[in-house]
Copies of this chain bind each other. A is one copy, B any other.
Amino acid sequence: MAIIECVPNVSEGRRPDVLDACADAIRQSGARLLDVKPDAAHNRSVFTFAGESDQVRQAVMSLFEAVLPRIDLRQHSGEHPRMGAVDVVPFIPIAGATMADCVALATDVAGAVAKAHHVPVFLYEEAARIPGRRNLEDIRRGEFEGLAAKLQQPGWAPDFGPTAPHPTAGATVIGARMPLIAYNINLSTDRIDVARRIASAVRHSSGGLRYVKAMGVALADRGIVQVSINLTNYEKTPIYRVFELVKREAARHGVSVLESEIVGLVPAAALTASAAWYLQIDAFTDDLVLENKLRAT
């Protein structure tokens, strides 16, 4: 029994009845709805749910059925870029599932959505079949308003579905990616320059670790600073390596780590791998964890 997470972004952040209909559609599929984050200013909501492959597939199909009669992008405004009523649908491998499972599921669901609802679908990130479609922002550029023209451009035919936008629902971007881990490391100083220098040292964009995004933030109420981190692939850039590098860079400035914090949820495997590293368990595999053995039996 493998677990897959799904985090669709829907272009509605204000009308509670629409959000309730989406939540009900997900729950009735058998998937477990873990979180709903509506954002009124963005006029956009993020649903987080998880379950077995069949449940997650059904949840996405039901979500489209709930959204299509209720959201009309011709009437939609909000601060966040968007191209579809169901804007982005990433599938994420959790316990017992591989990235290949999620790519297969994304491709399957993309075809089914296009066929059932005549919505153009692009495959992105790990599910992308065209190199220029790995990055969501490249696909979404031009947004709903520019979609009809974009679909006619060379190289921008959708992976599935018609080469014209759905009149009210635009197009959808479906794909597979690793779980995002958001975590923060608090430092024993109020010097924001130290937090910024550490963030700059560890993040990918300025020469640091490949799957790290980071910035320095002041926590004014506590009189301290924080290195705020997004980890986009914990298998390839593990938490412990980021933590140890931040700690070492902080020591260079005479600063120590007060504590760190996880924001949202973290897959067990990201933590068990960290424990194995610190405890020097060389032969560690996920199969040594009782719950994983149970899931696989």
Interface residues in chain A, defined as those with a beta carbon under 8 Å from any beta carbon in chain B: 3, 5, 32-34, 50-51, 94-95, 179, 183, 239-240, 243, 257-262, 265-268, 271-272, 274-276, 278-284, 288-294, 297
Residues from chain B with Cβ under 8 Å of A297 in the complex: 32-34
A5 touches B95 (CB 8 A): no
Contact of A290 among B33, B259, B268 (CB under 8 A): B268
A183, A259, A292: most-surrounded residue (chain B CB, <10 A): A259
- State the CA gap A281–B229 with chains docked (Å): 14
Sample of 18 further A-B pairs with CB below 8 A, known A240-B275, A268-B290: A3-B291, A34-B293, A34-B297, A50-B294, A95-B291, A243-B278, A260-B279, A261-B281, A265-B290, A265-B293, A268-B268, A268-B292, A271-B271, A271-B276, A274-B274, A274-B279, A275-B278, A278-B278
Q: Looking at chain A's contact residues, is the secondary structure mostly helix, strand, loop, or mixed?
A: mixed
CB distance from A198 to the nearest CB of B (A): 15
A288 touches B262 (CB 8 A): yes
Residues from chain B with Cβ under 8 Å of A266 in the complex: 288-290
- State the CA gap A35–B239 with chains docked (Å): 32
Residues from chain B with Cβ under 8 Å of A50 in the complex: 290, 294
Residues from chain B with Cβ under 8 Å of A34 in the complex: 290, 293-294, 297
Report the copy number of this chain in the oligomer. 2
A239 touches B279 (CB 8 A): yes
CB distance from A131 to the nearest CB of B (A): 31
A258, A271, A289, A293: most-surrounded residue (chain B CB, <10 A): A271
Query: Closest residue to A289 on the B side, CB-wise?
Result: B268
Residues from chain B with Cβ under 8 Å of A51 in the complex: 294
- State the CA gap A207–B60 with chains docked (Å): 58
A3, A95, A274, A292: most-surrounded residue (chain B CB, <10 A): A274
Contact of A291 among B261, B267, B275, B278 (CB under 8 A): B267
- State the CA gap A185–B265 with chains docked (Å): 31
Query: Closest residue to A258 on the B side, CB-wise?
Result: B280
Known: A32-B297, A34-B294, A291-B291. A284 touches B262 (CB 8 A): yes
Residue contacts A-B, CB under 8 angstroms, 27 given? A3-B291, A32-B297, A34-B293, A34-B297, A50-B290, A94-B291, A95-B291, A179-B290, A183-B281, A239-B275, A240-B279, A243-B278, A243-B280, A257-B280, A259-B282, A259-B283, A260-B282, A262-B284, A262-B288, A265-B290, A266-B288, A267-B289, A268-B292, A271-B276, A274-B274, A274-B275, A274-B279
Query: Closest residue to A185 on the B side, CB-wise?
Result: B280
- State the CA gap A276–B51 with chains docked (Å): 26
Residues from chain B with Cβ under 8 Å of A293 in the complex: 34, 265
